[in-house]
Structure 1
Amino acid sequence: MEKASSSSSSSSSPRRSAYLEALTQEIKKKLTRAVVSPAQTRNLLQDLFADIALEVDQRAKADVILSKEEEDGPLCFFDVLADYYVNVSERGKDILDLMVQLWSQSFASHIFSLLFHKWVLLASSLYCFFFYSLPKALMCNSSQLFEVEVENQEILLRYSSALVQGATNVFWIDIQTNTRRFQTLFRYLLEEVTLQPIGLKNIPIQAQRELYLLISRFIFFYNSVDKLDSFLRNFPEFPNAFLVGGAGDFLVIELTDQLQKLKVEPVLLHYLSQMKVLQGMELRMTTSTRLKACLYSFTSPGGPMYPTRAVRHAAWDALDSLFPVGRYPRHLISLFFRLLYPWYWPSSCWNFVVSCIKAVLYSIVRLIFSRREKPRQS
């Protein structure tokens, strides 16, 4: 059995390489067409982005996955290609050259962040001890691609900034569609970059700051609040920290800005439900006031946010949890201002009546079941 499995693995490795090489050639063809046909550049890049963001189907998984242990949840083409361009880096050189020519085009940063997010960290660490600890074969393959680029810090900063910009764009696509197709990219940036001080220090400081602000905006959406403490401990220093505050202040400022931009109700509800993890965090008075004002803007109907009833209740829950002092006066003031808008009275009265009826029905049901259980216990 062991011989059979080893022979199967060895035979699947060339098949995997051939499959990924074929994908690489298709990517190069589309990028080349995008370079030589400016009128079709946007459509070609959009199609290419859609292709690499697709989930690998079951038929293709037999070619790109060596064993069942490598299959962990949904697998997209960019996940496989990102690993391929790190392990066999000379295959990505032509693609990188074409990407540089299309740098200012739409969807170029999207594609770069998906295909080369692991490459950027490796390029940053090329001449550092962290890179020398990698396998020798990987180091030799990578040096052919990186030896020119990484010596120029400006180029490295451009690559890092493109990574952050592209990641921002694809994460917003997830938010607009309320999906988590690019969660593997986010987790890589969080767990393998921002939570790894050894690798992080090799990235330009400006790119570090941009990356941490990016993670701050989307850490709630990708359900990574359990790593929030470690994330804040590794937060880099900002030149305006004496004015803004500490890591918690930067996190809350980014979250409040993010909340103001969200228009998808399920995503907004998800963010508001996660806000309770900020309870007990030390914040400056200005940051705390900013957060309170942001949450309060979602508690009343109408402009400028026009929140739904579910959003208003979620905002009240978050506000009361984070700022319990003054809870009842806030509700009284809100009720007073609601009385100033008579056109909201019918809906408010109707929702109040429905809530009362539901509460009475639930009480009756609980009473009936409790009386039925008493004879059984006796």
Structure 2
Amino acid sequence: MAVVYSHKSSAYFSALTQAIDKKLRKALASPNHRRELLQQLFADVALEVDDRAREIILGGEDAEVQHKVPLCFYDVLADHFAFEPDERGKPILDLIVQLWSQPFASHIFALLFHKWLFEVTLDRSDLLLRYSSALVQGATNVFWIDIQTNTTHFQSLFRYLLEDVALVPERLKKIPLQAQRDLFLLLSRFIFLYNLGIARLLQNISLLPLAYASISVVISRLFTVDKLESFFQHFPEFPNAFLVGGPADVFVIELTDQVRPLETRPNIVPNISLHTSNFKGC
């Protein structure tokens, strides 16, 4: 279900953007507190939209109709920055780039600019490679947080990358071939989490083949999704395909390498806490 924003949301988005800008500038000016500030900002944009904010963003009647739609701040902000990227997102993006090597910078970039990257046209190949690499890295980081916290908090990001990028050639081809490969490997590693959940996945790890064989058994017994065949059809070519096999083989190899370590960690304890603070000044 598509989210429809109200006419009153413009001022609220402006306030959110200013809050993000303020915290990023504070992080730049405070080397000793940079990690803490960026972690707080990441937690802020990952928060679920509360009832008050939902009513402002969606409007009264729309908020009621769409009340059951899971909605986080990063969902609405990603739309906001993608709609008019140069005007709304560039100042924020420039600040994130200055903090590129810092912890949580890639997390924030992936949440806020995953749609922007596929809506703009970038002439510089080096920037395109940098942004697409940061997207894959940031998405990997936040998906791991979902594993560690036994949640699917970032499912909308995963679904966008799968359904609106990986399965849509005109968007997929906007990023370099190596980034396309990295994206499909990323989706292969986490696709079960967002369709089965970590608890059910852990219960069925024993079904995964020890020697990367019996691909059909893994797919048929663990995973049912209409788009899986299309996912394989859109797989980019890999230079080592003659050694590892086709898309289904790569898929199972990546999945197995990802989940086998979890077999020895039945009680997954989060190593990061999502703060419950709200945006300041909003």
Partner of 2:194: 222
Separation in 2, partners of 1:180, 1:21: 28
Q: Determine the structure 2 residue equivalent to 1:183.
A: 155
2:114 counterpart SS class: helix
Alignment partner of 1:30 is 2:23: yes
The structure with the largest helix share of the pair is 1
Normalising by structure 2, we get a TM-score of 0.78
Q: Deviations over 1:87-132 (max 9, x none)?
A: 1321111100000000000000000000000011112xx3xxxxxx
Query: What does 1:273-352 correspond to in 2, within 5 Å?
Result: none
Q: Does 1:245 align with 2:245?
A: yes
Give the drift of 1:238.
0.5
1:4 matched to which residue of 2? none
In the TM superposition, residue 265 of structure 1 has moved relative to its aligned partner by: 2.7
Contact 1:176 / 1:264 at 8 angstroms: preserved in 2? no
**RMSD between aligned residues:** 1.8
Aligned partner of 2:201 in structure 1 is none
Q: Secondary structure at the match of 1:151?
A: coil
1:74 to 56, 70, 73: 70
Instruction: Name the CA distance, whole Å, in 2 between partners of 1:225 and 1:53.
Output: 28
Counterpart residue type for residue 113 of structure 2: F
Structure-2 change in CA distance of 1:72 and 1:201 (3 Å) = farther
From 165, 170, 181, the counterpart of 1:198: 170
Looking at structure 2, the residues matched to 43 and 49 of structure 1 have their Cα atoms a distance apart, in angstroms, of 10
Structure 2 counterpart of 1:151, one-letter code: D
Percent identity between matched residues is 62
| Pair 1:64–1:197, CA change in 2 (3 A) | same
1:93 maps to 90
Q: Distance in 1 between matches of 2:90 and 2:229?
A: 38
1:265 alignment partner in structure 2: 266
Distance 1:52 1:198 in 2: 28
Which whole-Å CA distance do the structure 2 matches of 1:266 and 1:56 have between them? 29
Measure, in 2, the Cα distance between the counterparts of 1:212 and 1:161: 13
| 1:209-251 C-alpha deviation (Å, 9 max, x unpaired) | 0000000001111007402211111100011111111001110
Q: Give, in whole Å, the separation in 1 of the partners of 2:149 and 2:95.
A: 29
- Residue in structure 2 matched with residue 290 of structure 1 by the alignment: none
1:361 alignment partner in structure 2: none
Question: Secondary structure at 1:111's aligned position in 2?
Answer: helix
What is the rounded CA distance, in whole Å, between the counterparts of 2:84 and 2:267 in structure 1?
41
Q: Which amino acid aligns with 2:81?
A: Y
Decide which structure has the larger Cα Rg and report it.
1
* Alpha-carbon shift at residue 72 of structure 1 (Å): 5.2
Q: Secondary structure at the match of 1:215?
A: helix
1: CA distance, partners of 2:94 / 2:169: 30
Query: 1:238 & 1:81 partners in 2: Cα distance?
Result: 34
Q: Displacement of 1:181 after TM fit?
A: 0.6
Contact map agreement 1:56 1:76 (CA 8 A) in 2: yes
Distance between the aligned counterparts of 1:160 and 1:18, measured in 2?
30
How many angstroms apart in 2 are the aligned matches of 1:198 and 1:32? Answer: 35
Q: How many pairs align? A: 232
Give the distance between the partners of 2:82 and 2:224, measured in 1 at CA: 29
- TM-score when normalising by structure 1: 0.59
User: Quick one: distance in 2 between partners of 1:72 and 1:229?
Assistant: 30
Show the counterpart of 1:84.
80
Residue 276 (structure 1) aligns with: none
Deviation (angstroms), 1:54: 0.5
Aligned equivalent of 2:205: none
Q: CA deviation at 1:71?
A: 4.9
Aligned letter for 1:230?
A: S
- Which deviations, in whole Å up to 9, do the C-alpha atoms of 1:122-151 show, x marking residues without a partner? 12xx3xxxxxxxxxxxxxxxxxxxxxxx11
Deviating above 6 A after TM superposition, structure 1's stretches of 4 or more consecutive aligned residues are none
How far has the Cα of 1:260 moved from its partner? Answer: 2.4
Distance 2:256 2:71 in 1: 32
